[in-house]
Amino acid sequence: QQQVKQSPQSLIVQKGGISIINCAYENTAFDYFPWYQQFPGKGPALLIAIRPDVSEKKEGRFTISFNKSAKQFSLHIMDSQPGDSATYFCAASMRGNFGNEKLTFGTGTRLTIIP
Amino acid sequence: NAGVTQTPKFRVLKTGQSMTLLCAQDMNHEYMYWYRQDPGMGLRLIHYSVGEGTTAKGEVPDGYNVSRLKKQNFLLGLESAAPSQTSVYFCASSPFAGGSTDTQYFGPGTRLTVL
């Protein structure tokens, strides 16, 4: 059962454009929503994250929009650059019995920024 | 400060062979995780550990065993490898709950092929 659905699977955006990746979740117990960026041959790295008590978080060119009632969240990359070409994973998390965050990942979006 | 390191980077096994993947972190993190990454499926949690000497099952634990004898090391074992275990394996670690971040820090991955 895919608890976090991510779309699109792949995305091609012109340099300078806006890249938008969407995710939807089912479990209302999730309380932390990070986005991870992964370059080929590397491990994922945290890009930006949000908690459900806010509707938007912005860090530089990256913004998370969060809609709690719709159980959806999205990543917007403004002024997309070739260096942003990577695979992006959304995730949703809840605290485990021992306090650790248990992440459930989306299936990933391969983003390509073309000149 | 190397972060999270994984050994080996690549491995080819024959069906039925056994092997151990080693993960090491030098950030004094309490929690450690093993994930597998397969095309179109994102990252799925295999096992995790909330402290030295403790382990727990994740989403896809069958066919794997783990041990955490030292805080900085987390081992993933395959007792009898199967072709279905062909994947890229990622280790991650995160600090104790209640800290300023819930970030999971990922290693560079181990690409395993089972023939």
Half-sphere exposure at residue A61, Cβ-oriented, CA atoms within 13 angstroms: 12
| pLDDT tier for residue B100 given thresholds of 50, 70 and 90 | very low
Task: Search chain B and give the residue with CA nearest A48.
Answer: B103
Mean pLDDT over all residues of chain B? 92
Is B88 in CB contact (< 8 Å) with chain A? no
Q: Which range among A23-37, B71-85, B88-102 shows the weakest confidence by mean pLDDT?
A: B88-102
| pLDDT tier for residue A54 given thresholds of 50, 70 and 90 | very high
ω into residue A44 within 30 of 0, thus cis?
no
CB A44 within 8 A of CB B90: yes
Half-sphere exposure at residue B20, Cβ-oriented, CA atoms within 13 angstroms: 10
Q: At B8, list the tokens.
A: 């080996």
- Cα dist from A15 to A60, B45, B83, whole Å: 17, 35, 40
Is A102 in CB contact (< 8 Å) with chain B? yes
Is B96 in CB contact (< 8 Å) with chain A? yes
Distance between alpha carbon A41 and the CA centroid of its chain, in Å? Answer: 19
Express each pLDDT in A38-50 by its tens digit. 999 999 999 999 9
